[in-house]
Structure 1
Amino acid sequence: MPSVPAAQGLRLTRRGGGLLSAAVLCLVAGLVLGFPLLRLVAGAAVAVVVVAVLSCVRRVSIDVHRELVPDRVERGDAAAATLTLTNRSKRRSSGFTAIDPPTEEARLAVPPLAPGASKERSYRLPTQRRGVLTVGPLTVRRADLLGLVVAEARGGSTSTLLVHPRRHRVGVSLGAHPRHHHEGVIAPRPMAGSTDLRAVREYVLGDELRHVHWRATAKTGRMMVREYVDPAQPRFTVLLDDRMDAVDEDGFEAAVEIAASLTHASAAAGTQTRLLTTTGLDLHPGGGLPGSRVLQDALCAVEQGGEALNPEVLVSRCDHGTSLVLLGGGFETAFVGALRRRAREMTLFDFGAAGTAPVLPGVTVIKERDAVVAAAAWNRAVAA
């Protein structure tokens, strides 16, 4: 269990510094003017400061256990931390203030603790902004009764709260996926476990022997194998533009919220879901709630900036036959056209202030700056 070490950083407060300065003045005045009373007052003041220092020097041995409930939360939802502080020394500890960054609410007054005794305190965590919030390490602050000296010790571990983007209710677009294995273009990377027979072809190095078609082999005199693919499984890809100059901060946050909403809805529906960014993030954890969790964790940490990838690289990362969504602003017409040729269907969300998204055949364009309005527009397009 992480513990807070001995006091680190002993300092005088303003009151303590003022008292010590007054003691020096009284001492000088007493020596110059020959007043013993002033010298006595100076000595008493110095003695008070020394006692204050000694009262704060004593070691504080506190074990710290912190629990975040929950450890993942949507922006704006409630989250709390619970601190359990245990006195692990053999002596009674003095009272202290426990400060647990980053929130000001985590200034907890802890009374004196008997040996082995524990005190539990809870406080709310700030979730107004999306991101990765580091909680801790704990700071133990002790002061004397007169407030002349303060001693601080910092220690213990840190905890991480993931503040996910706010998600909006959106429908799932599966696109016009083929009903049979012989329809449409085969993706260059078929999904593992495909069981749909596409064709019988000649054996090439690397094919599995268990797929050998013996009857066709005997008839043709060449080794023939069954080719299995599964083009009917839906794929959904979101490309988020995280270049620094693509959109402003408000537009980027709206784009991230739509990305979180769409990837969650798609993965939760069992669709093979992929998240790309223009600066290189590439996640395709698959479908289901575990896949959605991976995507939401990544979106809570994504920020604008970084060097953008070559457009040809981004185009190559988009699967053939996927339902593709572009989020951001400032996409070039040639780039959008190249993506459209790979996608089964395509939607472009333009969050730029100018609203200059390219208009191409077969590309649905949604020009809305607000995430709620953009989600409603998406739902209308899906329902149409």
Structure 2
Amino acid sequence: MGVTARGVGLLVAAVVLLGAGFRFAYPELALLGAAAGTAVGYAAVVAAWRPRLTVTRHADPDRVARGEPASMTLTVRNTGRLRAASLLAEDRCGDDTVAVPLLRLRPGRDTTVTYEVPTRRRGVVRVGPLRVTRRDPLGLVALSRPYGGTTPVWVHPRIHPLAAVPTGAGRSLDGRVDAVPHGSITFDSLREYVVGDELRRVHWRTSARVGELMVRENVDTSLPRIVVLLDNRATAHPERRGGTAASFEAACEAAASIVTAAVRADLPVVLLLVVPDLAPEAGSEEAGAAATTRGWAGLRARLRRDAHRPGDAAPRADSPGGPLDRLAAADLVDGDDALQATAARVRRDRLGDTLVFLTGPGGRGDLGHVGALRGAYPSVVVGVFGATEPTPPGAAGLVVIDAADGAQFAAEWDGVRRW
């Protein structure tokens, strides 16, 4: 509860009048002071009344590309039974506020407000909660309370169409790429049974040991698998304006374009961040490597759950929790030593046969770590964004694409003749 400047002045006047009235025996002054104090007390009681409101929100849509329109529909319903509510309300929309008129909102009635959600920047726009301010008629006391929760609107990076998709090194014997449902006979891992799995894929010995049905997960070794590694280290994108690094935004657009093209081509794709999780001790030198070590297992397990297998219904790249959501939430973090640790794990796990590494001008000095992955990944492509000078040809024996933004990267990508 906050007392306004008018309320503070009236409260001070009440104390002065009461003191002067009793000190100098002026009952009129004491009466005025008592009236002023009573007015402040009445204002506090009126402002303390809590209206019963129900707040619902609906985002249309809740996932958009940067620059696309998105709207939020807010409905406020007065669930009280005794009196109408005349309130001042504003809804938080990212860094902005939107006024919501609640004049004479009668019991059982509702009011609806629709407004645009800003999508000019990539990220997660948090909308809400609704903050309702209750004031007394004299404007002496104001009390603000939050109503309802928050609704996120995911602003994905802009997607540029890519005509070419890497076919990888693995092909079937007849010279084409296979699309065998659920993979070939090559064993990959075990997972929990879900409704719809074939019983012939159940591994009964393991199921008996752990006490629940476990299913064999196979992979098609002839099918190309694409791994996109996005460099989200702050040192890789040193130039920032207004807290935003243009090179990192361009790298996010390139990653989103590759992931979307792969999903549309019905090819398995994995999106990784150099620093998948940040430790609380982010300021220390060991933060990046330690965070990568802790976050890798959980990240890989989540990617396995979300992985698309040929023959299944094609997923949307912007599905909840999908790769575009992770790109929308991605941000620059400290972790200078994270690339070396991540490269070691990418080499050990062999997640695919085509690796695409996207970095900024500050990451060109670390291309040696990426070049060392050529033994595990037959095809390695590097995208460098925001560099003032082109990357030296044949750097670490890699295919390097220098681009200023996502659109230029898409044009250069389609011109690559070898992967």
- Which residue of 106, 112, 118 corresponds with 2:98? 106
Note if 1:250 corresponds to 2:246.
Answer: yes
Residue 371 (structure 2) aligns with: 337
In the alignment, the residues of structure 1 paired with residue 168 and residue 77 of structure 2 have an alpha-carbon distance, to the nearest angstrom, of 61
Note if 1:123 corresponds to 2:115.
Answer: yes
SS, match of residue 250 in structure 2:
helix
Superimposed CA distance per residue, residues 230-272 of structure 1 (whole angstroms, 9 cap, x where no aligned partner): 5543322211112232223322222111111111122122111
Residue segments in structure 2 that go unaligned for 5+ positions in a row: 187-199, 202-217, 239-244, 276-295
In the alignment, the residues of structure 2 paired with residue 275 and residue 234 of structure 1 have an alpha-carbon distance, to the nearest angstrom, of 15
SS, match of residue 105 in structure 2:
coil
In the alignment, the residues of structure 1 paired with residue 71 and residue 365 of structure 2 have an alpha-carbon distance, to the nearest angstrom, of 41
Note if 1:153 corresponds to 2:135.
Answer: no
**How does the TM-score come out when normalised to structure 2?**
0.71
Q: CA RMSD in A?
A: 3.4
Note if 1:38 corresponds to 2:73.
Answer: no
Of structures 1 and 2, the larger Rg is shown by: 1
- Which residue of 357, 369, 375 corresponds with 1:326? 357
Residue 77 (structure 2) aligns with: 86
Note if 1:290 corresponds to 2:280.
Answer: no
Residue 315 (structure 1) aligns with: 347
Residue 234 (structure 1) aligns with: 224
CA offset at residue 61 of structure 1? 0.8
CA offset at residue 108 of structure 1? 0.8
In the alignment, the residues of structure 1 paired with residue 371 and residue 47 of structure 2 have an alpha-carbon distance, to the nearest angstrom, of 70
SS, match of residue 42 in structure 2:
helix
2:85–2:105: 8 Å Cα contact kept in structure 1? yes
2:250–2:405: 8 Å Cα contact kept in structure 1? yes
2:14–2:32: 8 Å Cα contact kept in structure 1? yes
In the TM superposition, what are the counterparts of 1:65-76 in structure 2 within 5 Å? 65-76=56-67
In the alignment, the residues of structure 2 paired with residue 255 and residue 168 of structure 1 have an alpha-carbon distance, to the nearest angstrom, of 12
1:330–1:352: 8 Å Cα contact kept in structure 2? no
Residue 144 (structure 1) aligns with: 136
C-alpha distance 105-137 of structure 1, shift in aligned 2 (>3 A) = closer
C-alpha distance 44-298 of structure 1, shift in aligned 2 (>3 A) = same
CA offset at residue 73 of structure 1? 1.5
In the alignment, the residues of structure 1 paired with residue 18 and residue 27 of structure 2 have an alpha-carbon distance, to the nearest angstrom, of 9
Give me the identity figure in percent.
Answer: 34
SS, match of residue 255 in structure 1:
helix
1:175–1:345: 8 Å Cα contact kept in structure 2? no
Residue 266 (structure 2) aligns with: 270
CA offset at residue 34 of structure 1? 5.2
In the comparison of the two structures, how many residue pairs are matched? 342
1:83–1:122: 8 Å Cα contact kept in structure 2? yes
**How does the TM-score come out when normalised to structure 1?**
0.77
CA offset at residue 176 of structure 1? 6.1
Residue segments in structure 1 that go unaligned for 5+ positions in a row: 1-9, 197-208, 211-227
CA offset at residue 128 of structure 1? 2.8
In the TM superposition, what are the counterparts of 1:123-202 in structure 2 within 5 Å? 123-175=115-167, 180-181=172-173, 192-194=182-184
1:255–1:327: 8 Å Cα contact kept in structure 2? yes
Superimposed CA distance per residue, residues 30-84 of structure 1 (whole angstroms, 9 cap, x where no aligned partner): 4455554433432332232222222222231111211111111222322222121
Residue 290 (structure 2) aligns with: none
SS, match of residue 52 in structure 1:
helix
SS, match of residue 316 in structure 2:
helix
In the alignment, the residues of structure 1 paired with residue 10 and residue 123 of structure 2 have an alpha-carbon distance, to the nearest angstrom, of 45
C-alpha distance 361-295 of structure 1, shift in aligned 2 (>3 A) = same
CA offset at residue 13 of structure 1? 1.2
C-alpha distance 292-357 of structure 1, shift in aligned 2 (>3 A) = farther
In the alignment, the residues of structure 2 paired with residue 361 and residue 306 of structure 1 have an alpha-carbon distance, to the nearest angstrom, of 25
- The code of the aligned residue for 2:227 comes to T
1:254–1:371: 8 Å Cα contact kept in structure 2? yes
In the alignment, the residues of structure 1 paired with residue 347 and residue 171 of structure 2 have an alpha-carbon distance, to the nearest angstrom, of 26
Superimposed CA distance per residue, residues 142-184 of structure 1 (whole angstroms, 9 cap, x where no aligned partner): 1112211112222423222222122223323233666642779
1:105–1:123: 8 Å Cα contact kept in structure 2? no
SS, match of residue 164 in structure 2:
coil
CA offset at residue 91 of structure 1? 1.1
In the alignment, the residues of structure 2 paired with residue 299 and residue 168 of structure 1 have an alpha-carbon distance, to the nearest angstrom, of 15
In the alignment, the residues of structure 2 paired with residue 19 and residue 333 of structure 1 have an alpha-carbon distance, to the nearest angstrom, of 69
In the alignment, the residues of structure 2 paired with residue 75 and residue 15 of structure 1 have an alpha-carbon distance, to the nearest angstrom, of 45
C-alpha distance 153-229 of structure 1, shift in aligned 2 (>3 A) = closer
- The code of the aligned residue for 1:295 comes to P
In the alignment, the residues of structure 2 paired with residue 191 and residue 98 of structure 1 have an alpha-carbon distance, to the nearest angstrom, of 54
29-38 or 266-275, which deviates more: 29-38
Residue 213 (structure 1) aligns with: none
In the alignment, the residues of structure 2 paired with residue 127 and residue 291 of structure 1 have an alpha-carbon distance, to the nearest angstrom, of 19
C-alpha distance 270-331 of structure 1, shift in aligned 2 (>3 A) = farther
